[in-house]
A and B are shown apart, each in its own frame.
Chain A
């Protein structure tokens, strides 16, 4: 078991493994998304209150979920790198940040577009879910800016890992904000006590989209980590040998 983890954390091993694993995440991810988009847009029944506007849920919820998951991956990987000094985990953290920022941006914009016809406003500053999600986007920007501002990779890894760990508090706030405070945003739908409060015809495409987005995120993350590993290991012998080998990339 430990041998497996030790081997997995080895940069050359991971670099090759990520290349072969990435399509195995992308293909099922795209298939699930294709089903989710079709079923969500054309097969799922219309919501009795929101009409067809509710269909925004099929891109908004997976984006919002990934915005938090990417942050947790970034913070936990940074923490592992900080404690056990595993170089690969800092590479994972660095690679997760731009993806997390992209999905947070999507969650904010699709939420805002959904809010316009439903709440009558694009944005509500007093709303805890909206504000904490915006803070999450700023945390991603801060994390990337901090990494970019420090030339020494080891120092940048440490400083950004501390920032990411502190920011976990905000992820907890994002998740529970709709329960702790009164909010324009609707409460938990999927993780509700007693099961999801949705018609199965609406629920299955949503679950497919969440799973599909997760797979797609996995594929993108693997490719980004691969690049990050290559950049960090650019002066090592294995990289030189790989580039000079006939197989190349």
Chain B
């Protein structure tokens, strides 16, 4: 517990690490989501054209 308190700086230290983790996860999620959307949009457009030719 003493280590987690970080000498009374725990709130500052843990909030920075937590925020970094959140931003990295968000960036990864956004990248996946956008790829999925772009791919699906193209797929729908191609299939709407019939057999894709």
Contacts and interface: CB of A to CB of B under 8 A. Distances in A.
Contacts of A55: 6, 9, 13
A243 B17 contact: no
Nearest to B37: A227
A121 to B, nearest CB: 13
A51 to B, nearest CB: 5
B27 A102 contact: yes
Contacts of A41: 13, 17
Interface string B18-53: 011001101110111011001101110110000010
B28 A117 contact: no
Contact of A99 (B6, B12, B27): B27
Contacts of A58: 17
B40 to A, nearest CB: 10
B12 A244 contact: no
Contacts, number: 88
Interface residues of B, number: 30
A114 B27 contact: no
Provide the main secondary structure of the chain A interface.
helix
The size class of the interface chain A forms with chain B is 35 or more
A109 B19 contact: yes
Given A51-B7, A56-B13, A244 B39 contact: no
Contacts of A99: 27
Nearest to B42: A234
For the complex of A and B, the 10 pairs showing the least CB-CB separation, nearest first, are A52-B6, A53-B9, A227-B35, A59-B20, A52-B7, A110-B16, A51-B7, A56-B16, A223-B31, A244-B52
8 contacts: A42-B3, A52-B10, A63-B20, A113-B16, A224-B31, A230-B35, A244-B46, A244-B52
